[in-house]
Amino acid sequence: MNKYIDIKQVNFSYVTGDGEVQAIKNLSLALTAGAHVAILGANGSGKSTLAKIISGLELPNKGKCIVDGFDSGDETGLWKLRRICGIVFQNPDNQIIGTTVEEDIAFGPENLGIPSSEIQRRVMQCASMVGLATSIAKPPADLSGGQKQKLAIAGVFAMEPRILILDEATSMLDPVARREILTLTDELGRKYNLTILNITHYMNEALLADTVVLMNEGKIVAVGTPNEIFGRVALLRELGLDVPLPTAIAAKYLRACGQAWEYLPDLVDPEAAVVAVGDLLAERLKKIREGAKYVDSGESESSQLKRPVYKAARDSKLCACTTGITQHAAEREVIIKVRDLTYEYPYYGEISRPAIQDISFDVYRGEILGVIGQTGSGKSTLIQHLNGLLRADSGTVEVMGRAIKTGRDIKWIRAHVGLLFQYPEHQLFADTVAEDIAYGPGKLGWSAEQIKTAVAEASKLVGLSEDIMPRSPFELSGGQKRRVAMAGVLAMRPDVLILDEPAAALDPRGRETMLDLIVDLRARGVTIVFVSHSMEDVARISDRILVMVQGKLKYLASPESLFQNSPSELAAVGITVPQPTEFMQKLSCRFKDLDQNCFSAGAVVRNLIAYEEAVYANYHR
């Protein structure tokens, strides 16, 4: 094996106020040039630290990291290593420094001594690659979170590294943009023999890789092909991870039908999963029809025919998971009223650009409203008006019957409306996690005992352990920071909760915990408005979904109504159908009248069993 990246018995510890935290433990890894590697692991497992060690941003306490023959422990080798490695961080604000998009993309090549004409060519080429060609003169501060991620990616592409490290680099991109960036990265890797390391919590992104690395508590616990890794379901669950959704659907249906789990590695490819489910469904329908013939001829009893279907229906209940929540039948009370809302960001102090235009809608008490749309469509700008963080240029926002007009109105509304930012670092500032969570309740004038209780309750809700409370929030992983920020908002016990990408940067188990928490808060009477780029998350838990397109409200509908639009119509506004819906759409090419309104793996299985029941009933009217 030609070891292009050779990590030998590496250890690395962070120094914190409470001592050392060992992030990497006796880790060894060898990769060949041109490899496409996905690195998976729970929050805090050491993935980002490993990326920094490979790129030379951190040096091992023990062991060696050798890349393309360059030893990071040698000063000359370290400089060369950093020259050939490009890394895109979780938070693009950590690496954007230019005053314009053009200047930021050019910064890296300029520091490499590239001729000006070549720099200009690279800037325009890379800006076009990520869809920022028309924004070349804009300040990065005017970009959305997703656009900043695209800018960070372009800046690294422009340096033409031989190793490209993506650390959750697609987490804030809409589904269409995410697919485009991943496809582009894969094409560039194959064309120029780039070595690609993709750290991700999206299991389907790992399917593009040649090799998948599983990490846990600073160690590598498994290395293999996607088929090999995703065939190890028990290990993945133990680590808080999952299999790609099409694979999960196929596995659940096979299990419901009494099929063995050892076939799971063959179902990792999404198309193979669809074919396997379709073939099994066709076989079962054939048996139902053939059984009906025997019943008609008197050779078999109807109860015998129906038994396999009943068994599958019973077993499928084991697969049930959260699905979209229907609205209460009771009369709906408007808790937020938005009318003709328009807001423009100042641009260079002279030109203004509309961020949101003439938007009107209501939010009902106790509902979950999902907000989706392309990167830069105005989602974050919209929700920041709902707690007075931004003040409308025109139009009105009312919360619980009170208009946002004066400073007193804003102070009152912020006590009732909590906001979680897209990047949790933007609202973390205290020395310890406990102090950060306690800050909001303290500003509300609560007693020490009330604050202590609120901090304990909020920490428990988001799954923060006691040992993390005395630590600095800035020492935590991206997912842990998000939980701390969420706890700080929940501690204030708001009536309305505004969440901007609440599940971004969370591992699969953390994502499920966050979604369950949102549903639980709704059951407690909290009204939720949340922005997400995950169609699966939004479809599963939202009562209604608001779609933003270029600063305007395009759709406002239930998940069932919205995702009945054609895939091409949805793609035109930067969104896709949820994966379970897409799975059923593909099956519907083989099976007529199949209900495609499925937003979870469990819902797909239940609909397939219901389809079998309907076919059975059709033969025994």
Dist CA 418 CA 416 (whole Å) = 7
Confidence (pLDDT) at 375: 86
Ramachandran angles phi, psi of 354, nearest 5°: -70, 130
In a domain, 522, yes or no: yes
Dist CA 191 CA 477 (whole Å) = 34
Confidence (pLDDT) at 227: 92
Mean pLDDT rounded to a whole number for the chain: 88
Q: Which of 193, 210, 239 is the last residue of a domain?
A: 239
| Contact between residue 24 and residue 46 where contact means Cβ atoms under 8 Å apart | yes
Residue where the block lists tokens 């929540």: 325
- Whether residues 226 and 338 fall in one domain: no
| Contact between residue 264 and residue 231 where contact means Cβ atoms under 8 Å apart | yes
In a domain, 44, yes or no: yes
In a domain, 442, yes or no: no
In this structure, what token pair is assigned to residue 357? 């235009």
Scanning 130-208, the segments in alpha helix (DSSP H) are: 145-157, 175-192
In a domain, 221, yes or no: yes
In a domain, 607, yes or no: no
Tell me the CATH number at 98.
3.40.50.300
Range of the domain at 198: 5-239
The predicted-structure confidence for 71-128, as pLDDT tens digits, reads as follows 988 888 888 888 899 999 988 888 999 999 999 999 999 999 999 999 999 999 999 9
| Contact between residue 49 and residue 56 where contact means Cβ atoms under 8 Å apart | no
- Whether residues 424 and 549 fall in one domain: yes
Ramachandran angles phi, psi of 315, nearest 5°: -65, -30
In a domain, 523, yes or no: yes
Beta-carbon count within 10 A of 169 CB: 26
Res 484 pLDDT > 60: yes
In this structure, what token pair is assigned to residue 194? 């780039």
Segment 394-419 mean pLDDT:
92
Segment 518-546 mean pLDDT:
96
Res 45 pLDDT > 90: yes
> Please, which residues bridge with residue 302 across strands?
none
Which pTM was predicted? 0.87
| Number of domains the chain is built from | 2
- Whether residues 423 and 544 fall in one domain: yes
- Whether residues 234 and 338 fall in one domain: no
In a domain, 621, yes or no: no
Q: Which of 180, 211, 239 is the last residue of a domain?
A: 239
Cα Rg of the chain, angstroms: 26
The predicted-structure confidence for 320-354, as pLDDT tens digits, reads as follows 333 344 444 446 899 999 999 999 987 644 456 68
In a domain, 525, yes or no: yes
Q: Which of 221, 239, 257 is the last residue of a domain?
A: 239
Confidence bin at 226 (pLDDT 50/70/90): very high
Pick the residue with more confidence: 349 or 137? 137
| Contact between residue 347 and residue 378 where contact means Cβ atoms under 8 Å apart | no
Q: Which amino acid is at 153?
A: I
- Whether residues 235 and 341 fall in one domain: no
